[in-house]
Amino acid sequence: MTTATRRDGPSGHEPRAVQKALALLEAVARLGSGATAKEIATQTGIAPATAYRLLNLLVADGYLVRIEDLSGFALGRRTRELAGAAAEPAADHHRVLAELRAQVRFGIHLAAFTGRRIRMIDRDPDHELSGEKVLVRHPHASAIGKVLMTRHPELAEGPLRRVTTFTITSPAELAAELRRVDARAVATEVNECRVGRSAVAVPVRAADGTVAGALAAIGTTGRLPVHDRDLIDLLTAAAQRVLVRPAHPAGAAEATPAGRDHFA
């Protein structure tokens, strides 16, 4: 009598496969949300076919997730629970955002900054966040990214991609924009990341006052009032209730990126 053996994980050489799977998780943590299978394979030196198979297994088990436009990967719930590798929200995080979302008609999204990378950690369930990959990779084009750049102005160095005809790519103009963001503690975008979309974002700070994330309202251009004081005040009050603490684990890679910020 023959017996069928069910295998949920990689077949053969399990210890080596586990090592590769862990390497893939570490690569996603370093590269940040939206990392593609090709980028992850290159980062780890794992053959693309093997990397793609293991990535799919990690997604199926909840250790990774595909971002909404399916163009890349991000750390999943099980990874965050096990190792705290991604930014974790505060205990009252969901309640704070639920209260804010009940008061506005725009999408409310929370991002945390891991070194020089943006991590979208709470997307409004009632408002799709399209173009997340562009937001993550080209911070100069988004309100959330501009908040990050006040902490890491070196991101403005070098050629900047003109995502839309409205994207600021002049170093002088961008530097002036970042000075305004830093002084006013509020950043805006109008058609810069995606034509037809606007946003306003405020910083979320760690206990030591450093910028550790951003809280943003994102909506349709012409409907979302990016300079509305009431909206900015609502965002700022909510951001002040989302407490964060910086953490810098030993051995964190300096090149891509340096350090980590964890929501408390």
Q: How does pLDDT run across 115-133, given as a tens digit for each residue?
A: 889 999 899 999 988 888 8
Q: What is the pLDDT of the chain when averaged over all its residues?
A: 81
Segment 230-237 shows an average pLDDT of 92
Is the pLDDT confidence value at 92 over 90? Answer: no
Indicate whether 185 pLDDT > 90.
Answer: yes
Mean pLDDT over 34-55 rounds to 90
Angle, alpha carbons 199-89-40 (nearest 5°): 80
Over residues 24-29, the mean pLDDT reads: 85
Instruction: Kindly report which listed range (10-14, 39-43, 93-97, 171-175) carries the lowest average pLDDT score.
Output: 10-14
Lowest mean pLDDT among 20-24, 222-226, 252-256: 252-256
Q: Is the pTM of this model over 0.85?
A: no
For the chain, state the CA radius of gyration. 19
- Per-residue pLDDT of 207-225, as tens digits, reads 777 889 999 999 999 999 9
How large is the average pLDDT for residues 28-55?
A: 87
Summarize the confidence of residues 187-210 as an average pLDDT: 92
- pLDDT for 90 equals 47
What is the model's pLDDT at position 70? 61
Q: Which residues of 183-214 are buried (b: 16+ CB within 10 A; e: fewer)?
A: eebbbbbbbbbbeebbbbbbbbbbeeeebbbb
Measured torsion, CA atoms of residues 205, 206, 212, 218, in degrees rounded to the nearest 10? -30
Residue 3 reports pLDDT greater than 80: no
- The whole-number pLDDT of residue 138 equals 94
Would you identify the CATH topology of the domain 14-83? Arc Repressor Mutant, subunit A (1.10.10)
Buried b (16+ CB within 10 A) or exposed e, 142-167: bbbbbbbbbbbeebbeeebeebeeeb
> How high is the pLDDT of residue 14?
61
CATH of 93-263, one of 3.30.450.40, 3.40.720.10, 3.10.580.10, 1.10.10.10: 3.30.450.40
pLDDT of residue 69: 56
Domain range summary for the chain, segments of one domain joined by + = 14-83, 93-263
Q: Which amino acid is at 100?
A: L
Q: How confident is the model at residue 239 (pLDDT cuts 50, 70, 90)?
A: very high
The single-letter code of the amino acid at 179 is R
